[in-house]
Structure 1
């Protein structure tokens, strides 16, 4: 392990003037209670209503469990994973099989498995190497099979197969020679195919009799590429629903008559995109839609579910989501999130208008000092509105509206993607950091999804520039609002959030007191060189929105925007976490910048997990990295920290460089 001398002045210059913890009177919540295995999660009700399933630990590893809906005391584990957690499952249409996908060590080569709920027999439906399965269509009308995509013939494209769930037999439906994806109807007939365009958009074609027609149904340009897509057909196949931003900014929910091609606006909202809806279990027609601006809310479109949604809103504390429904539509499984309590799952019986709590995800957090989250609208310097989320520790002495009375250190927590978004709700990282004494701010910077195509396109070619300016503007807002002071702000994030951390440290080296980068790219050239082959259909979109490595202008931009090339400017402490098997952000991204910094004697701590990919799925690894992170932040921002203790040795963590720069880490690895 290489070690380099630490210039004492570097750390001393960024230590804040806090003489004591800002949250000494608040009980410290153990890391394991926040980041360990949930007691239960991922609940689903079977289509026939006879079974309930969920994910829960078995011998310390998350597995699939099932119980009769009428008697949860008869719950039993269906799977027996020993190392890597299963993080979700879903029901077969006939209610006989629970399905789940699983990879190896975070390589994201997800294979599809099924377990018979009666016999417990497990089958690997896709026993192939270097293959990533996709679910193309699961229909409530065809009970014995589903459609899946498999890329074992050509890693770039997924051929469509019909999977017989009982026997495991795969039957080729459509060989894929260059299409980004397919949409099928409720009879499992392929109806649409999308083909990537050179401008980063997509063209949609009808499919008839297994043949893709030559005349386009729809041409979608780059601007609409992330806000326009077909969603689903009605049961009779006569209506196609779209989320569609063509001719508008935010995407509306449209209904298209298949025969005539005529479209009708079903729902739209000028604040946010509409992509999620509740559909009639029998007809497939839209009953309600959800819109998520500051918070998610359901809007009923028919009387079928209006009373149910009103009842749930009145009788649940916080946001609720309808997670699954029976074929008879007499029972719903509803998730409830009240932010200041751990999420819970409830069985809703529609006829009786009755709610029964099934479980709390983390009962050990009930009664813990969890704090509210406050949605914010922050103005960027050019006038864009940045929907953001602020969590304040009790030391802020915030009022009911989230106005802080005392400034505290702040962690700017940046989401990944970048084509994703932060939302309102219980957030484990927010609660953990707030409990340690920090304000936490998550910002939907330009390029984030959910707020219309103009907001996404405002981030085109703005990695490390206007996207980063948005983060800086949000920090300035927090300083002006009295949330924090300018010298007590850290930046932290994963994936693009990791890139933003590196960009912050390298491009604005005195803005942040320190940074925590998790699986973040440092070199945009090598990032684009190593994207997975199955991203071929969206490769041009990366080029158009990030910078095109095939042009001289694009190469110059990518070089300029790569933190690696400005690593010599980094002045403040940096912690990096990486999964060795990451297929999205190759381990080389972290290796490169650590080597560059080490060569220049710039302090950096590097923790590598050999059995992880794009993030840390195994709780022991997540807990270990967070143990290092909170002690690192504790030195940087003078917040509280639970000792690292035995977390490193309980994990697979390899401290590749700079253990001496993170308090307690050297002792933990001895």
Structure 2
């Protein structure tokens, strides 16, 4: 099948996720853990054209542009040794993009993403930023920006050949000194600095695509600067300062500038427990008393959707990602699309300056990986652009529910529960899957490779949002401060006990698993609750909090000195004042307690949790535990980027779980001398 046929298929005749179920062999690991077959797709400002990344066979992922009116396709960029990564429209005629090598691990990366521009017809290609750290450029070559130049996540004005890009001054792993903003001409490569008021670390453009906000950290304090709308590029003034870590009563996160110049922010204002969307008085730096958008039971997370000179709607995350439309036309269009695709949540993206009826739709559910479509709002028809994982059949996937259970001290713990098909009401082997961070939200309702893979092998999966997780209010977050291995750990154990009490989990077949902080919690769970957790899987997990501070001569950590000095003492524990607590909650020092089967996996190039965390713990636990499996992926960092390693790791997980809490665990040992199956 050619690229065009892969990219644009016939109009959908059946709702997504409505296929009839058919008995089949287990879905292969590669369907879950190979790279997605279709990724980013972006409408041009008018909506006339669609830019998309496509691969196929042994070819690298390239960039194509589809003329949606003539149904014609043009390959505009493809390299033999690297893949297209992020893509933006500079204007209606020109695209900006960078690159990534999807065939190597983090430890083998030798080149930066670079920066490139090309017209939508494939002409006037230009490299704008270097991919290596050469200090001397060849004589006569067009001058390139340095390798540490990156795209902005925000789109610009899209009405000229200019864009804003970020140039970072980096002193070492984890040590960003400042981030400079450059105005770049994508035709001739000429760039000028916009100027900055301090050692700034982030920028925000206004609705016209011009820089209006910047911010930086110093000694644990975040300061936000504002440029007056009619000011020169250097006319910045301090807008607000507050604690950069934890919860700041007068703090806020800038969200967006509206068409009328209003600044929208996300804030815990006037003691409200949940973060909400407010406006900010630019003269005083004060957050409005009344919120504009407030989500019942959740902090606001998402973004505002502007168009036609007004606020059209709000994209947000509650149990799942969804949209609230304020504009009547968009509300009607959403209803039309939802009626045609009733089994999925359908996220609409409109062009910035629409001249066509084309709308981009991203459809997903708990059983359905994301599918991208173009909806013609006049003809009321769909064209499918691409499936992220076409090998996945929604009917074979497991249902997922968002629930809440109570911890032993009464705190409500949100959780996701995924139960294999046709096994509701049975006592199942359970995997408690603990998210990393930990100061993040673990997940939201929707298709997830890890949970769905485990469910496809017969396991129920519980993903608790223990205290310290974000997204569920200030009290929920703050209740986790300095609670690594303590109340945070209680919440996880209480989730497993809740699953037992609800008749979901077989109490003799529960395993705990997780990466990063989740790996730490796995080890602490095995040490503290051996009666509950029969086995554990830790990948790239912290094994000693003190090691996060001190590091080790054998490897480099990317934890910044500011985080160690101002963040970690507040959120995790002070190295001196909380020394005894840190000892009592160190898996490394508790290794002799852990006698359950254990799978450990680490990346040899990990700078977030360097491999010495794993090797030191492995050596300590193996002195008392003979059921320890160790795997190192030498080229990987903090997680597995290569499909071959993801498939290998989860294949090991499948075998490990099977023999410890799965079907293999219930098979009797035939004993020595017994005949072997062939």
TM-score by length of 1: 0.82
Q: Deviations over 1:493-550 (max 9, x none)?
A: 122212221222233334311111121111222324565266847962333111233x
Relative distance call for 1:322 and 1:547 in structure 2 (3 A) is farther
Instruction: Indicate the residue corresponding to 1:296 in structure 2.
Output: 321
Report the CA distance between 1:488 and its aligned residue. Answer: 0.6
Report the CA distance between 1:437 and its aligned residue. Answer: 1.0
Would you say the 8 A contact 1:494–1:518 is kept in 2? yes
Relative distance call for 1:513 and 1:123 in structure 2 (3 A) is farther
* Aligned mates of 1:484, 1:544 — CA distance in 2: 36
Report the CA distance between 1:242 and its aligned residue. Answer: 0.5
| 3-state secondary structure, aligned to 1:430 | helix
Report the CA distance between 1:626 and its aligned residue. Answer: 1.0
Would you say the 8 A contact 1:570–1:602 is kept in 2? no
Relative distance call for 1:309 and 1:632 in structure 2 (3 A) is same
Q: Deviations over 1:16-61 (max 9, x none)?
A: xxxxxxxx97631111122123332222223243432334434447
Instruction: Indicate the residue corresponding to 1:266 in structure 2.
Output: 292
Relative distance call for 1:607 and 1:495 in structure 2 (3 A) is same
State yes or no: 1:144 paired with 2:172.
Answer: no
* Aligned mates of 2:281, 2:362 — CA distance in 1: 33
State yes or no: 1:217 paired with 2:240.
Answer: yes
Relative distance call for 1:619 and 1:365 in structure 2 (3 A) is same
Relative distance call for 1:211 and 1:444 in structure 2 (3 A) is same
* Aligned mates of 2:59, 2:578 — CA distance in 1: 45
Would you say the 8 A contact 2:246–2:570 is kept in 1? no
Relative distance call for 1:60 and 1:472 in structure 2 (3 A) is farther
| 3-state secondary structure, aligned to 2:506 | coil
State yes or no: 1:420 paired with 2:420.
Answer: no
| 3-state secondary structure, aligned to 1:590 | helix
Would you say the 8 A contact 1:395–1:437 is kept in 2? no
Q: How many residues align?
A: 605
Relative distance call for 1:337 and 1:449 in structure 2 (3 A) is same
Would you say the 8 A contact 2:319–2:402 is kept in 1? yes
| 3-state secondary structure, aligned to 2:292 | strand
Instruction: Indicate the residue corresponding to 1:581 in structure 2.
Output: 605
* Aligned mates of 1:510, 1:145 — CA distance in 2: 62
Report the CA distance between 1:353 and its aligned residue. Answer: 4.2
* Aligned mates of 1:280, 1:538 — CA distance in 2: 39
* Aligned mates of 2:469, 2:198 — CA distance in 1: 31
Q: Deviations over 1:212-246 (max 9, x none)?
A: 7565435356443598301111245x210111112
* Aligned mates of 1:558, 1:132 — CA distance in 2: 39
* Aligned mates of 2:188, 2:243 — CA distance in 1: 40
* Aligned mates of 2:79, 2:196 — CA distance in 1: 34
Would you say the 8 A contact 1:53–1:64 is kept in 2? no
* Aligned mates of 2:93, 2:636 — CA distance in 1: 33
Relative distance call for 1:96 and 1:25 in structure 2 (3 A) is closer
Aligned mate of 1:465, from 486, 492, 502: 486
* Aligned mates of 1:43, 1:640 — CA distance in 2: 44
* Aligned mates of 1:602, 1:240 — CA distance in 2: 59
* Aligned mates of 1:343, 1:137 — CA distance in 2: 23
Would you say the 8 A contact 1:531–1:583 is kept in 2? yes
Structure (1 or 2) with the greater helix fraction = 1
Would you say the 8 A contact 2:46–2:353 is kept in 1? yes
State yes or no: 1:118 paired with 2:144.
Answer: no
TM-score by length of 2: 0.81
Report the CA distance between 1:177 and its aligned residue. Answer: 4.7
Q: Deviations over 1:145-165 (max 9, x none)?
A: 333333245442222222332
Instruction: Indicate the residue corresponding to 1:621 in structure 2.
Output: 645
Instruction: Indicate the residue corresponding to 1:644 in structure 2.
Output: none
Instruction: Indicate the residue corresponding to 1:440 in structure 2.
Output: 461
Relative distance call for 1:379 and 1:143 in structure 2 (3 A) is farther
Relative distance call for 1:336 and 1:215 in structure 2 (3 A) is closer
Would you say the 8 A contact 1:137–1:147 is kept in 2? no
Relative distance call for 1:31 and 1:373 in structure 2 (3 A) is same
Relative distance call for 1:429 and 1:88 in structure 2 (3 A) is farther
Relative distance call for 1:510 and 1:170 in structure 2 (3 A) is farther
* Aligned mates of 1:577, 1:323 — CA distance in 2: 39
* Aligned mates of 1:33, 1:325 — CA distance in 2: 32
Report the CA distance between 1:259 and its aligned residue. Answer: 4.9
Would you say the 8 A contact 1:195–1:537 is kept in 2? no
Root-mean-square deviation (CA, aligned residues, Å) is 3.2
* Aligned mates of 1:419, 1:92 — CA distance in 2: 35
Report the CA distance between 1:112 and its aligned residue. Answer: 4.0
Would you say the 8 A contact 2:114–2:129 is kept in 1? yes
Report the CA distance between 1:97 and its aligned residue. Answer: 1.7
Would you say the 8 A contact 1:251–1:274 is kept in 2? yes
Query: Which piece of structure 1 moves more, 272-281 or 205-214?
Result: 205-214
Structure 2's unaligned 5+ residue stretches are 1-21, 134-146, 666-678
Would you say the 8 A contact 1:438–1:639 is kept in 2? no
Q: Deviations over 1:248-285 (max 9, x none)?
A: 111111123535767353211231122323422343x4
Report the CA distance between 1:189 and its aligned residue. Answer: 4.1
Instruction: Indicate the residue corresponding to 1:569 in structure 2.
Output: 593
State yes or no: 1:135 paired with 2:135.
Answer: no
* Aligned mates of 1:538, 1:300 — CA distance in 2: 42
Equivalent positions of 1:337-352 (< 5 A) are 337-352=364-379
| 3-state secondary structure, aligned to 2:375 | strand
Relative distance call for 1:168 and 1:468 in structure 2 (3 A) is farther
Report the CA distance between 1:479 and its aligned residue. Answer: 0.4
* Aligned mates of 2:527, 2:149 — CA distance in 1: 36
Instruction: Indicate the residue corresponding to 1:630 in structure 2.
Output: 654
Q: Deviations over 1:380-431 (max 9, x none)?
A: 12222222111112352x2xxxxx2x11101111112112221101111112
* Aligned mates of 1:318, 1:174 — CA distance in 2: 46
Query: Which piece of structure 1 moves more, 595-604 or 71-80?
Result: 71-80
Instruction: Indicate the residue corresponding to 1:79 in structure 2.
Output: 78
Report the CA distance between 1:304 and its aligned residue. Answer: 4.5
Report the CA distance between 1:111 and its aligned residue. Answer: 3.0
* Aligned mates of 1:382, 1:60 — CA distance in 2: 55
Relative distance call for 1:583 and 1:101 in structure 2 (3 A) is farther
* Aligned mates of 2:488, 2:58 — CA distance in 1: 40
Instruction: Indicate the residue corresponding to 2:410 in structure 1.
Output: 383
Aligned mate of 1:40, from 38, 41, 58: 38
State yes or no: 1:240 paired with 2:240.
Answer: no
Instruction: Indicate the residue corresponding to 2:12 in structure 1.
Output: none
Instruction: Indicate the residue corresponding to 2:568 in structure 1.
Output: 542
* Aligned mates of 1:603, 1:499 — CA distance in 2: 18
Structure 1's unaligned 5+ residue stretches are 1-23, 399-403, 642-670
Instruction: Indicate the residue corresponding to 2:429 in structure 1.
Output: 409
Would you say the 8 A contact 2:196–2:234 is kept in 1? no
* Aligned mates of 1:538, 1:169 — CA distance in 2: 39
Equivalent positions of 1:645-664 (< 5 A) are none
Q: Deviations over 1:295-330 (max 9, x none)?
A: 333222232522223223333222222356343174
| 3-state secondary structure, aligned to 2:606 | coil
Report the CA distance between 1:98 and its aligned residue. Answer: 4.2
State yes or no: 1:314 paired with 2:339.
Answer: yes
* Aligned mates of 1:555, 1:169 — CA distance in 2: 53
* Aligned mates of 1:59, 1:629 — CA distance in 2: 28
